[in-house]
Structure 1
């Protein structure tokens, strides 16, 4: 479990979610982009909450390990998506030039 401190509030979540959020935030900052990510976390009272993180090049996040032995809320589908998105930002797919369309003979003829 790790604490993610965002906007001066700590949120407790699984290591996988905290690590994926940090990696995605770094990838977005490197690309000069932004996104909103919602994860489930435990707040300072132990309640399960949904936390929306606005990630942009100026976002300040801090992660801190804990000795907590409890399991964090399930974020597996979001973690999977964050890993995929971060990978696309850091290793974008190669683009190929598009082939020019075949000219159509009557397209360029002048009509009389």
Structure 2
């Protein structure tokens, strides 16, 4: 059988296959479109995970800084209040305030 005869013999089958599996003849492998769609969905999901993680890290850093600032400010105001009260209250109250302040400092509050 010559090459031309073999080609003629397969022509009807090729056109059937072309009709039945158009994605193969379009240059795409079967399932390739679905595979690409899944990859796109995974990439989108990955960006949904990584973008918020970076934002959370920024937010956590900011909140940590704010907490440190507020704690320092609160300590400063407590110290000023204690000193003011110690100057204005009778000595017996001043010793109680000093004792409470020492307890706060020891406990880390």
TM value normalised by structure 2: 0.23
Say which structure is richer in strand.
1
The higher-RCO structure (CA 8 Å, 6+ apart) is 1
Q: Based on CA coordinates, which of the two structures has the bigger radius of gyration?
A: 2
Say which structure is richer in helix.
2
TM value normalised by structure 1: 0.23
